[in-house]
Structure 1
Amino acid sequence: MGTKQAAKGPDPELRDRYDSDGGKAEVHEVIKVLENAGISCCVVGTSALRHFGAPRVTEDWSICVPSDKLEHAASLFQTGRLLEHYDPTSPRTVQPHSLYHTFPFFKRKGFFMWIVLVPSWDCQLECIPENFERGHAGVPYPRLEVFTQSLLDTSDFNLVDLVDGMDLTEEWGLANLRLEGTPDAAYIAKKNEAIRSSIPLTDTSCILELGTNPQERIRTWQEVVRSKSARIGLEFPKEFYATRFRLKGSQDPRIPNKEADDTFLRFLKSTDASSDDIVAVQRQ
Structure 2
Amino acid sequence: MTNSKDIREYIELIDHCLKEAVKAGNQYEKELQETMEYSLFTGGKRLRPLMTLKAYEMYDSYIHNAMPYALAIEMIHTYSLIHDDLPAMDDDDFRRGKPTSHKKFGEAMAILTGDALLNLAFQTLFKAGISCNDKSAVRAGYEIAKASGHSGMIGGQVLDILGEKRKITEEELFQMYRGKTAALIQASILSGAIAGGASEEDVETLRSFGEKLGIAYQLQDDLLDLDEDSEIEKSTYLSFHGQDETREMIQALSDEAISLLNGLEHLDTKFFQDLTGELIHREV
Query: Do they superpose with TM above 0.5?
Result: no
If the TM-score is normalised by the length of the shorter chain, which range does it land in? under 0.3
Larger gyration radius, structure 1 or structure 2? 1
Q: Normalized against structure 1, the TM-score is what? A: 0.27
Structure with the higher fraction of residues in helix conformation: 2
Name the one with the larger strand percent: 1
